Amino acid sequence: MRRFGVTGRGLVVVLPYMWLLLFFVVPFVIVLKISFSDIDLAIPPYKPLLEWVGKNSLAIKVNFNNYAFLFTDRLYINAFLNSIKVAFISTVLCILVGYPMAYGIARAKPATRNVLLLLVILPFWTSLLLRVYAWIGLLKANGVINNLLLWLGVIHEPLNMLYTPFAMYVGIVYSYLPFFILPLYANLEKMDWQLLEAAEDLGCRPWQAFYKITLPLSRNGVLAGSMLVFIPAVGEFVIPALLGGPNALMIGRVLWDEFFSNRAWPVASAVAILLLILLVPFMMWYQSVQARETAGAR
């Protein structure tokens, strides 16, 4: 190996970077390139950026129209805003549902804790698509939930749940909950529970101790989990499409339509790039939270 100037250590570092270059940077550059090109009725359906004009001159044609177009049509702005709204509400719901779960797991006995953690991870053993389809079966008019409620006599006619925002939120929260629970659990698990006893000793009721000690100390876990829900939820496509019905206007859906239905690759690419730019601050925030969390552990 030495002979070729590559050490084992170097290889270990190089391999993941090669992976990132090949499957992340290169596709990104391609998408970026397409977002600046003109649409064309060809295969692929866009014009090249570089063109030979005359014998010895190469012209670069950068087209900003695709981006400009996104701001002229309210559809795109609304889709962006709606995606952020849906992602935000989903994140809040995940916090409300996931915090007690993570807390319960962290405070359970070690044996129980492993079982509970397994239950959190278990859904990953089946494909997301199958699980979302399962929700259709649960939520539809003659589905499991409606039938059960009818049989119990709680309702007299089926509830209209499928293809509503409700179904969409159920699907998103259900799918992303583990991503919220796991980082928060990792944070809570490190906590010294004696701090709560110390707080009670100094005059706190249990809920005050939670509010003044547990909550501030788990802040980084909550932030990390929230980012892991919020960032992918903004671009979520499958769940709103399957459960949310036709009115669920999300940016992922718009992107899909532009790309596959309209074959407007340049516009679709511009949407993708804008989405990325929108999410970069959140990703950077997540990174800094993670860095703080690791530093705090020491």
- Cα separation, 257 vs 234, whole angstroms: 16
**Nearest distance from C-beta of residue 106 to another protein, angstroms:** 17
**By C-beta, is 26 or 297 nearer to another protein?**
297
Kindly tell me which of 73 and 192 has the beta carbon lying closer to another protein: 192
Q: What are phi and psi of 141, to 5 degrees?
A: -55, -45
Q: Are 255 and 268 in contact (CB under 8 A)?
A: yes
User: Measured from the CB of residue 105, what is the shortest distance to another protein in angstroms?
Assistant: 22
Measured from the CB of residue 295, what is the shortest distance to another protein in angstroms?
10
- Residue found under tokens 């496509």: 237
- Judged by CB under 8 A, the residue of 13, 21, 198, 291 near another protein is 198
> Length of the chain, please?
298
In the bound state with another protein, the residue whose beta carbon lies nearer, of 213 and 268, is 213
Q: Which is nearer to another protein, 78 or 288 (CB)?
A: 288
Residues 200-219 that bind another protein (CB under 8 A): 200-205, 208, 212-213, 216-217
Q: What part of residues 167-196 is at the interface with another protein (CB under 8 A)?
A: 192, 194-195
By CB under 8 A, name the one of 39, 168, 181, 199 that touches another protein: 199
267 in Cβ contact with 100 (< 8 Å): no
Backbone angles phi, psi at 159, to 5 degrees: -80, 145
Give CB contacts under 8 A, 24+ apart, made by 29-33. 31/269, 31/272, 31/273, 32/269, 32/273
Residue (108 or 195) nearer to another protein, CB: 195
User: Are the C-beta atoms of 277 and 67 separated by less than 8 Å?
Assistant: no
Task: Assess contact for 84 and 234: CB atoms under 8 A.
Answer: yes
Name residues contacting another protein, limited to 43-102 (CB under 8 A): none
User: Interface residues with another protein (CB under 8 A)?
Assistant: 192, 194-195, 197-205, 208, 212-213, 216-217, 296
